[in-house]
Amino acid sequence: MNTIQSILKTARKTIDLERDAIANLSHLLTNDFANAVSLIYNSKGRVIITGIGKSAIIANKIVATLNSTGTPSVFMHAADAIHGDLGLILDDDVVICISKSGNTPEIKVLVPFIKNAKNKLIAITGNEKSFLAQQADFILNAYVEQEACPNNLAPTTSTTAQLVLGDALAVCLLELRGFSSKDFAKYHPGGALGKRLYLRVSDLSSVNEKPRVELNTSAKNVIIEISEKMLGVTAVVDNNKIAGIVTDGDLRRMLTKSDAFIHLTAKDIMSSNPKRIDENAMAVDAKELMEKYGISQLLVEKDGEYAGVIHIHDLIKEGLI
């Protein structure tokens, strides 16, 4: 077997092992999972998530997911906890402890302090008979038959299982809270993801030039308006209502049809009933319209009157395309 085939075989085996382990998690769910979700949902405090080693990395990811979906969460490293960070835990906080074996020395030291403080403890562990599981109020079973590592040592399948249970918690809580796309946008204002949820057409069109001509504007002045405003287009208006549009393409077509265009007006060369969008529409809606009709600009309206232009370059600049 050549090297490429060998690599692909190992990769597929890894993926298949982890896929089967994840599929088995649904069979391991008990009422403890539902009760853990209810506990967190009804808690007046935060969720403190702790772990050691690779489980600590997974804990960090689950914290990030919970925070971004409306459940305030804090990461606490199990080793640091027993050297001063226990002060992070407040009276109403719920603690989630992640450990494959549930018997690591740090966990055995940490758990009694959590219990003494009367905080509720949720265990995510692959060993229901472990010290952690026996001390926990609720157990989320993350058992996996074997790691993807050929030596069955490096945390691979087990950390994937932990992460999936964390995602399941987050999604259940999200649904209980009625967490909407608007809520999501509040927590994700940066980047293309957030912009898809909050950026409106007016946010982009308001900073652009507003090229406009009247129906009887000469072809020469139409060309001047398009050139000066540098958007490759101008609106043709009648009492500030959009009557048509003239694009660079319309000008090229005009020149191919006639050598003498001085006598022509905007009305003669415009395209009637151009695609348009309200300024309060989401910018992502403008993107979809442009893609649907294969155009680079949209005229913008406010209360039925011409209000400007949004260009495909505006969407590219904001990372929406």
Interior CA angle at 147 toward 145 and 153, to 5°?
120
Considering the entire predicted model, what is its pTM? 0.68
Q: Which residues are annotated as a binding site for Zn(2+)?
A: 77
Please tell me the total number of residues recorded for the chain in this structure. 321
Q: Rounded to 5 degrees, what are φ and ψ at 46?
A: -105, 175
Evaluate if residue 1 carries a pLDDT over 60: no
By three-state DSSP, how is residue 247 classified? strand
Q: Which residues are annotated as a binding site?
A: 77
Task: Determine which of 14-18, 128-132, 255-259 has the lowest per-residue pLDDT on average.
Answer: 255-259
How are strands ordered across the β-sheet holding 271-272? 212-214, 233-238, 241-247, 271-272
CA 156 to chain centre: 25
Domain 3-179 in CATH 3.40.50.10490: yes
Sequence spans of domains, the chain = 3-179, 201-317
Distance CA 226, CA 100 (A): 66
25-67: pLDDT as tens digits:
999 999 999 999 999 999 999 999 999 999 999 999 999 999 9
CATH of 201-317, one of 3.40.50.300, 3.50.50.60, 3.90.180.10, 3.10.580.10: 3.10.580.10
The DSSP code sequence of 127-183 is -TTSHHHHH-SEEEE---S--SSTTS-SSSHHHHHHHHHHHHHHHHHHHHHT--HHH
Evaluate if residue 196 carries a pLDDT over 90: no
Are 315 and 265 in contact, with CB atoms under 8 Å apart?
no
217-263: pLDDT as tens digits:
998 899 999 999 988 899 999 999 999 999 888 888 887 876 667 78
